[in-house]
Chains A and B, each alone.
Chain A
Amino acid sequence: MNPMIPIFGGVLFFISLTVHIIIWRIKKPKNDVGALFFILMILPTLLLILFGLGFALAQGRTDLVFFSSLTAVALFYLSLGSAYIQTYPVVQAESPSLEILLAIDQKMPHGLTETDILKLFDNSTLVQKRMQDLINTKLIIEKNNAYHLSNTASHIIRFFHLYRKALGLEFNVG
């Protein structure tokens, strides 16, 4: 493989990541996951298509190896972007497990009791913030003081039911 493929893929990923950081520092988008998907997946793809077309026209490259290389570059930044998007919710809405570890670490060597840890959390932090995120991203619709699933969320939960069935596991998240 041409060493330029992972290098070019890495550069496109870091350009997208920098754009993400700059935008978030100015103002976090309301539909942040949607914006992140655009910045890490669509934006580098547009840049790659522009580059590919420009290079093909300027150098007369229309061979299969050239277009295969561009596909390999795309797989590189798309896989890195996917890994980042999967991690992002932990940063965006605090993870109770990580918050527990950080809180106990601050009180070492004594540690914390379960009662101390419970004082750090309340339902507004753990559930209501997540509900608001889901409304902002249009996955949940609030109507007549009740929450309903959007079509996208219905497809997501059906996918997870099928997925866990295939793994031979019951649905018991929490």
Chain B
Amino acid sequence: MSANPFTYVIILALSPVVIFLGHTFLSRLLKAVPRQVTAGLAMIIGFFPVAALEWLFILKNSALSHPDFKAGMIYSIFVYSSIAYSYFHLFNMSETARRIRIFHEIYKKGSVTRKDIEILYDSSQIVGIRLIRLEDTGQLVKIGNFYKIKGRSLLWVAKIIKIWDTLLAHPRPM
């Protein structure tokens, strides 16, 4: 007999809470580890309690070869991955997003002028921080004065985003 789909919904809807709790614990435990790596670890580790709950309440009574079992697995993997990916982006926004930085500055001061924003956030600072981050995560290597591509994973993401950008027909200033 098939499980009520609502059981999947309840367990998967709890997954952001599971990831957040894991992240809270890991970010205090692994202070020397880059913060985005800690968030990534929380996403991976969070999968196990969610999978265990699904196994306990739904899947252990299903035959592995049954189409309902496979559909449940596919459904859970897609939904969990999407939620975990959204969580990672939410955290990343609090780490790197320019708009959150701008909100923070206005919130602190009440209001800011265009000049304040330009002084606060010059392009050399933005580029400098990102070059360090790309080196730390193994995407770039500095040989002499030249930065070169080392890892290819983020470069592929950049290429896919550029293709999607073309599909949406955004004008790009660069």
Residue among B6, B24, B27, B100 making CB contact with A157, cutoff 8 Å: B100
Majority SS of interface residues in chain B?
helix
**Chain B residue with the shortest CB-CB distance to A169:** B27
CB of A153 within 8 A of chain B?
Answer: yes
**Chain B residue with the shortest CB-CB distance to A71:** B9
CB of A82 within 8 A of chain B?
Answer: yes
Name the distance in Å between B72's Cβ and chain A's nearest Cβ. 4
Stretch of A41-49, A52-60, A101-109 at the chain-chain interface: A101-109
CB of B161 within 8 A of chain A?
Answer: yes
Size of the B side of the interface (Cβ < 8 Å), in residues, is 89
- Across-interface contacts of A174 in B (CB, < 8 A): 96, 98, 101, 121, 125-126, 129
Residue interface mask A137-174, B partner, CB < 8 A = 1: 00110010111110001101110100110111101011
Q: Which of A109-130 contact B (CB under 8 A)?
A: 109-114, 117-118, 120-123, 125-130
- Across-interface contacts of A109 in B (CB, < 8 A): 148
CB of A19 within 8 A of chain B?
Answer: no
Interchain CA distance A80-B8 in the complex, whole Å: 16
Residue among B6, B94, B127, B162 making CB contact with A68, cutoff 8 Å: B6
Residue interface mask B149-174, A partner, CB < 8 A = 1: 10000110111011011011110111
**Chain B residue with the shortest CB-CB distance to A109:** B148
CB of B82 within 8 A of chain A?
Answer: yes
Is A72 a contact partner of B97 (Cβ separation < 8 A)? Answer: no
- Knowing A100-B134, A104-B149, A118-B127, the reply to whether A94 touches B102 (Cβ < 8 A) is no
Name the distance in Å between B80's Cβ and chain A's nearest Cβ. 8
Is B146 a contact partner of A111 (Cβ separation < 8 A)? Answer: yes
Is A72 a contact partner of B127 (Cβ separation < 8 A)? Answer: no
- Knowing A113-B146, A131-B114, the reply to whether A100 touches B102 (Cβ < 8 A) is no
Q: Which of B69-117 contact A (CB under 8 A)?
A: 70-72, 74-75, 78-79, 81-83, 85-86, 89-90, 93-104, 106-107, 110-114, 117
Using a CB–CB distance below 8 Å, which chain A residues touch chain B? 1-3, 5-6, 9, 21, 24-25, 28, 64-65, 68-69, 71-72, 75-76, 79-80, 82-83, 86-87, 89-92, 94-102, 104-105, 108-114, 117-118, 120-123, 125-131, 133-134, 139-140, 143, 145-149, 153-154, 156-158, 160, 163-164, 166-169, 171, 173-174
A/B interface sample: 12 pairs, CB < 8 A: A9-B75, A28-B168, A65-B5, A79-B86, A100-B127, A105-B155, A111-B149, A126-B126, A130-B98, A139-B99, A168-B24, A169-B35
Using a CB–CB distance below 8 Å, which chain B residues touch chain A? 2-6, 8-9, 12-13, 20, 23-24, 27-28, 35, 67-68, 70-72, 74-75, 78-79, 81-83, 85-86, 89-90, 93-104, 106-107, 110-114, 117-118, 121-131, 133-134, 139-140, 143, 145-149, 154-155, 157-159, 161-162, 164-165, 167-170, 172-174
